[in-house]
Amino acid sequence: MKWFSYLLMFVVILLSGTNVWSFERSRTDLNVPTSWETLPVVYYIAKQGSKDIADGSEIEAVKRSFETWQSVNCSRLTFQFGGLLAEPRAFYVPGGPNKNVVMWIENESDWPYPSDVLAVTQLEYNQQTGTILDADILMNGYAFQWSTDEQAKKDTHDVQNVVTHEVGHLLGLDHTSVTEATMFAEAPAEEVSKRALEKDDKDGLCTIYPQDERDQFGFLTVSTELGLASCPSSSQQPTTNNPPERGLGCEVAETSGMMLWLFLALCLIAFRRSVRVLS
């Protein structure tokens, strides 16, 4: 009867609505997960960098953020640094040319998001296929102070810490509920822990971009009326996030309640058969 105990345990997990895999993928309005179709992903950095950093070290910090994701062994992901741009453009233009750029916005009038948003990754993608066409990372330079020190200065935000998080969005990952992960939604001042990826981040990356393309698959999150996670209210929205017009937040790949009850019925049938055999 051990096998039946295991089945019951699995059912409890289903009913609880708990994600066995906690990472989340960003999705189109049609619920299609997003990803890059062609590798390497070429990125650029705005030449002017951040006004808070005089020695140009923010450029290397941004590069290290991309290298952190590229160095995961179970993934085929590759990046290519395209160079510094003297006149970067951070918005997608149909027909292009377009470039994936990381840049600081230093003037309030040029920042199109709420002032308390620390950084934004703007994704442009095909709604039907989820193929990412363009991705730009905007850093809020007018409302926040930035640094690249090994230990971030008081009341400043670490460049590598924040950009590593945003590169995760650029790759097609959304916020996770795992507090230790790089893709967790909060990025307080002086934090540097997001420079290094946690298992949850690597699991997400290697699901989207596995070493062998034949291994690519999607994890399924089961949600029922008994275990739905609620979306955070506007007052709970993190300061490091995706642009609000993309409608990101709670993104759950759902299965219908009918499938769950079908599974339970099969378990019951199997149980009855086992009882007959044992008797």
pLDDT digits 0-9 by tens, 55-113:
999 999 999 999 999 999 999 999 999 999 999 998 898 988 899 999 999 999 999 99
Does a structural domain hold residue 122?
yes
pTM check: above 0.85: no
3-state DSSP: the chain helix, strand, coil percent, rounded to 5?
30, 20, 50
Put residue 162 in one of left, alpha, beta given phi > 0 → left and psi -120 to 50 → alpha: alpha
CA gap 133, 154 in Å, rounded: 37
Domain that holds residue 99: 2-258
Does the residue 229 lie in any domain? yes
Asked if residue 264 is part of any domain, the answer here is: no
207 in a structural domain: yes
Total number of domains in the chain = 1
Write out the DSSP string of 179-217: TTSTTBS---TT--GGGS--HHHHHHHHHHSBSSGGG--
Tell me, what CATH number does 11's domain have?
3.40.390.10
Question: Does the pLDDT at position 43 exceed 70?
Answer: yes
Residue type, 24: E
Q: Is residue 276 part of a domain?
A: no
- Judged by DSSP in three states, 146 sits in strand
Evaluate whether residue 265 is within a structural domain. Answer: no
Is the residue at 271 inside a domain? no
Two tokens, residue 172: 């097609």
Quick: pLDDT tens for 5-42.
555 555 444 444 444 558 999 999 999 999 999 999 99
